[in-house]
Amino acid sequence: MQSAVELSATLEDYLVTAARLIDEKGSARVRDMAAALAVHKSSVTAALKALADKGLVNYAPYELATLTKQGEARARRIAQRHEVLRSFLTEVLAVDAGMAETNARLMEHGLDREVLERIRLFAAFVACCPHCGEERLQAFRDYYDRESARQDSPSAAPEEPR
């Protein structure tokens, strides 16, 4: 099997955005991608050319971009990484949805596959373990709230979890 094509975090974002637009609208137009990513159309054009050079998209100027099979698979893997992280942040760590979305986007580009898999499995374990359950998650949230409130006092030692 061919090794994965190296992509920068930015190119991964362009690839996933193209995939999402194709799913939602049936096509990925430069102007739609520019609007979705809040960038200039020239930036989208350059990214699509780079993705095409890597065999992940089919693109020609003034045409709609489509994903190759390799591009579809890569976009799906990136989106799955993002969902695992977003879900972990919101459901396990009780991070606000907006903050979780932003941080998942940052984290998805840098985590090793093994670390991501451990996060995914830990979240699954927490969800199905009779000793973890919602009661333990709520206990963590309460602990977090207490410790956050104590941050005004830098000399205070962390309280023992209950």
The percent of residues above 70 in pLDDT, for the chain, comes to 91
pLDDT, position 127: 80
pLDDT, position 145: 86
pLDDT digits (tens, 9 = 90+) for 39-54: 999 999 999 999 999 9
DSSP classification of residue 3: P
Helix (H) or strand (E) holding 58: strand 57-58
Under the banding of pLDDT at 50, 70 and 90, the label for residue 94 is confident
Identify the residue whose tokens are 């932003």: 102
User: How does 84-116 read in b/e, with b if 16+ C-beta sit within 10 Å?
Assistant: bbbbbbbebeebeeeebeebbbebbeeeeeeeb
